[in-house]
Chain A
Amino acid sequence: AQTVTQSQPEMSVQEAETVTLSCTYDTSESDYYLFWYKQPPSRQMILVIRQEAYKQQNATENRFSVNFQKAAKSFSLKISDSQLGDAAMYFCAYKISGNQFYFGTGTSLTVIP
């Protein structure tokens, strides 16, 4: 079974500081993608970043970057220079070809001014 685990239900960070959200997953597949989605108070799900399992280089999108450890099945999200607009629920997700997304239970991020 595919599972995604986010062990931090809530996190907080001071504005302009850096925070890391954890995610682990369980799979026997070799070809898959990992994603981080953001859900702000508007409840609109927004894609933050994606990582292909075959790529060793960690994905980066502006202030967002990931630490992908394939052997450890770990996929953490680092947010640098945190902004008030980063406050949201963050979901880690896993997907293989021809199949659905599997989502974690989410981490609620609070940004303190």
Chain B
Amino acid sequence: DGGITQSPKYLFRKEGQNVTLSCEQNLNHDAMYWYRQDPGQGLRLIYYSQIVNDFQKGDIAEGYSVSREKKESFPLTVTSAQKNPTAFYLCASSWGQGAGYGYTFGSGTRLTVV
């Protein structure tokens, strides 16, 4: 079955460490997105990519980095510069950029700083 796989489901990070969250899709979608979800704040866009080897910053990109070397993969690195990284992270993909295209979401990664 086609879908988006995020791993790991739970991730613990020590302060000062970089960690990478994996997002893989087999839907042949061009566009991929990373969102951060915090209680009471909805979903906020971190980075998005419309095509391989290209990506753009979202509303809260500081302290995060991404790469898009393959169409299927869009990993997110949470760097030590991110001061409050504890959150739930959702990856999503879409066929295209048209207004009517909805997202397919992964099941998320819960990141906790210890």
Residues of A within 8 A of B98 (CB): 97-98
Which B residues between 61 and 99 are near A, CB-CB below 8 angstroms?
88, 90, 92, 97-99
CB pair A9 B42 closer than 8 Å: no
Could you tell me how many residues of chain B have their Cβ less than 8 Å away from some Cβ of chain A?
Answer: 21
Chain B 9-53 against A: per-residue CB contact (8 Å), 1 yes, 0 no?
000000000000000000000000100000011110100100000
CB pair B97 A98 closer than 8 Å: yes
Give the interface size class of chain A.
20 to 34
Which A residues between 89 and 105 are near B, CB-CB below 8 angstroms?
91, 95-101, 103-105
Number of A-B contacts (CB under 8 A): 53
Main SS at interface, chain B: loop
Residues of A within 8 A of B103 (CB): 45, 47, 101
Quick check: is B8 within 8 A (CB to CB) of the other chain? no
Q: How far is the CA of A46 from the CA of B41 in the complex (A)?
A: 18
Chain A 5-43 against B: per-residue CB contact (8 Å), 1 yes, 0 no?
000010000000000000000000001110100000011
CB pair A50 B100 closer than 8 Å: yes
* Contact partner, B99, options A43, A47, A97, Cβ 8 Å: A97
CB pair A43 B88 closer than 8 Å: yes
B78 CB → nearest A CB, Å: 18
CB pair B99 A91 closer than 8 Å: no
* Contact partner, B58, options A91, A95, A100, Cβ 8 Å: A100
7 A-B contacts (beta carbon < 8 Å):
A9-B40, A43-B107, A45-B105, A91-B43, A98-B98, A101-B45, A105-B40
A positions within 8 Å CB-CB of B? 4, 9, 31-33, 35, 42-47, 50, 52, 91, 95-101, 103-106
Q: In the complex, given contacts A45-B105, A47-B102, what are 10 additional A-B residue pairs having Cβ atoms less than 8 angstroms apart?
A: A35-B102, A43-B90, A97-B97, A97-B98, A98-B97, A100-B45, A105-B40, A105-B41, A105-B42, A106-B42
